[in-house]
């Protein structure tokens, strides 16, 4: 049976944005009727670009939110909160980070007539969430699932065992046609689908035992920005940008 | 009246791919029923990635095509033609470049039950084309129209006067909701719409006289790769990759 990759119908405003230095994807979603929207995983260095797009498109940004406490870049949520009045910062309660608002597993994040369902998908960090669009046409997986890969599990409360369970029970349980948008890609790919990753992901098609062995053997260097980024991102949801800056 | 940005329904396989060095976007489209597809503006250094995606998705690539003879990177069409048997290279007849197949203004480029209409949009180069999807939900503008910008007009038969006419008569005449996908973006943006560019493009919202003045005053450096890329790209549509390479 051939896998399904077709794009679902979606009367939704949607923009994928890229930050080159950390290869991070930022996502802007808005309800085309009310023009209320959210931004997922913005980066500090591209906050001006993002605010300009939001303004030019006439979007009222209700939340600037993160899939998790990032270790490789500083979040743009604090800057967007300053630039776009009415915008609140949002993160999973269990991340331990500060923010204006929090969500728990299963909660709906509303923007206009649309919503994202927050699903806890820990394993890369303890507080990782995947955001699933109301019609299940798209999901934003953060670093839990990357295109043909996944986030590392060796710090920030990470666990390969937990990540394997999260992906299989909460992401691979979505329809095969669901488009998956990750927080990063290092090869210039922009999107994948559940069907594709269930078939071609070199790590997550393995048994849990093999997956744990792969993740233990990665031997990755410590992220360059971790000592700056993690403390900043734990506070960034409520950080007041100094008036003089 | 608020501009329309909503994504149209499209039972189509669609992938946007990015090449970092030249900030080039490559596009893969396929008919979800027959799995026949085309790739637009592939780059030599990412040909392996692109071929892998085509194979993993089960796409039969019928054409590897270019919007124009690029000056900033070497096209991946010759490599994909080698890697994917059955794939032919395709470019506008008026580009003067070699290829397996050519199209002229207004011709339909068929893949399965879907097609792209080739529209001549000269001005950046003499042979530039924009590819418009059958339902007008998306168009691939090459360097004729970039997000909040446009391609330079100072070499390869370029003309600001001609480019202004091309964009206004052949791209801005599409519905406001048509998603426009450019060959490049240098700020990490991935897509725009006709409505958005008609309202916010800093060059193409100007009068023709002002536009010509802007283009004449850009003072851009000569592209680093032009002396290698242009001759290669004039031949690349039929270049046989040596067996030993
Ligand atoms: Fe992360
Ligand atoms: Fe070009």
Distance from CA of B13 to the nearest CA of A (A): 5
> What does the alpha-carbon distance between residue B95 and residue A90 come to, in Å, rounded to a whole number?
51
> What does the alpha-carbon distance between residue A124 and residue A108 come to, in Å, rounded to a whole number?
22
Tens-place pLDDT, residues A40-78? 999 999 999 999 999 999 999 999 999 999 999 999 999
**Six token digits for residue B84:** 């994917």
> What does the alpha-carbon distance between residue A38 and residue A87 come to, in Å, rounded to a whole number?
9
Q: CA separation (Å) from A39 to A18, A128, B24?
A: 13, 16, 25
Which residue bears the tokens 């790590």? Answer: A203
User: By a Cβ cutoff of 8 Å, what residues of chain B touch chain A?
Assistant: 2-7, 9-20, 32, 35, 46, 49, 53, 56-58, 187-191, 196, 199-200
Surrounding ion ligand 1 within 5 Å at CB are A 70, 143
- Considering every ligand atom shown, identify the ligand nearest to the alpha carbon of residue B23 and give its number: 2
Enumerate the residues of chain A whose CB falls inside 8 A of the CB of residue B3.
57-58
Q: Which of A5, A15, A188 sits opposite B191 (nearest CB)?
A: A15
Contact B7 A12 (CB under 8 A): yes
- Output the CA A198–ligand 1 centroid distance in Å: 21
Rg over alpha carbons for chain A, rounded to the nearest Å, is 17
Contact B32 A6 (CB under 8 A): yes
Average of per-residue pLDDT across A154-158: 93
* pLDDT (tens place) for every residue of chain B, 245 residues total: 454 554 444 479 999 999 999 999 999 999 999 999 999 999 999 999 999 999 999 999 999 999 999 999 999 999 999 999 999 999 999 999 999 999 999 999 999 999 999 999 999 999 999 999 999 999 999 999 999 999 999 999 999 999 999 999 999 999 999 999 999 999 999 999 999 999 999 999 999 999 999 999 999 999 999 999 999 999 987 776 665 54
Tens-place pLDDT, residues A116-144? 999 999 999 999 999 999 999 999 999 99
Q: Which of B2, B53, B190 sits opposite A16 (nearest CB)?
A: B190
Q: CA separation (Å) from A81 to A65, A231, B107, B189?
A: 10, 19, 48, 21
> What ipTM score was computed for the predicted complex, to two decimals?
0.91
Read off the DSSP letter of residue A168: I
Distance from CA of B114 to the nearest CA of A (A): 13
Distance from CA of A17 to the nearest CA of B (A): 5
Q: CA separation (Å) from B85 to B38, B69, B88?
A: 13, 23, 9
- Output the CA B127–ligand 2 centroid distance in Å: 10
Contact A188 B19 (CB under 8 A): yes
Contact B15 A188 (CB under 8 A): no
- Considering every ligand atom shown, identify the ligand nearest to the alpha carbon of residue B153 and give its number: 2
């Amino acid at each position: 049976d051939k896998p399904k990759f077709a794009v679902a119908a979606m009367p939704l405003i949607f923009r994928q944005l890229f930050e080159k230095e950390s290869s991070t994807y930022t996502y802007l979603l808005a309800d085309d009727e009310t023009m209320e929207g959210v931004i997922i995983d913005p980066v500090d260095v591209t906050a001006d670009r993002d605010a300009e797009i939001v303004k030019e498109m006439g979007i009222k940004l209700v939340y600037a939110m993160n899939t998790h406490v990032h270790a490789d870049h500083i979040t743009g949520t604090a800057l967007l909160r300053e630039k776009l009045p009415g915008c609140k910062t949002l993160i999973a309660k269990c991340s331990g980070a500060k923010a204006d608002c929090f969500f728990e597993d299963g909660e709906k994040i509303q923007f206009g007539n649309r919503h994202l369902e927050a699903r806890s998908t820990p394993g890369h960090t303890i507080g990782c969430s995947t955001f699933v669009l109301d019609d299940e046409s798209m999901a934003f997986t953060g670093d839990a699932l990357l295109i043909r890969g996944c986030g590392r599990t060796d710090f920030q409360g990470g666990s390969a065992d937990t990540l394997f369970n999260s992906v299989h029970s909460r992401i691979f349980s979505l329809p095969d046609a669901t488009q998956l948008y990750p927080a990063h890609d290092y090869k210039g790919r922009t999107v994948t689908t559940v069907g594709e990753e269930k078939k071609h992901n070199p790590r997550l098609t393995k048994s849990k035992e093999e997956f744990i062995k792969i993740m233990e053997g990665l031997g990755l260097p410590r992220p360059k920005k971790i000592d700056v980024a993690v403390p900043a991102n734990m506070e960034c949801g409520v950080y007041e940008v100094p008036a003089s800056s």
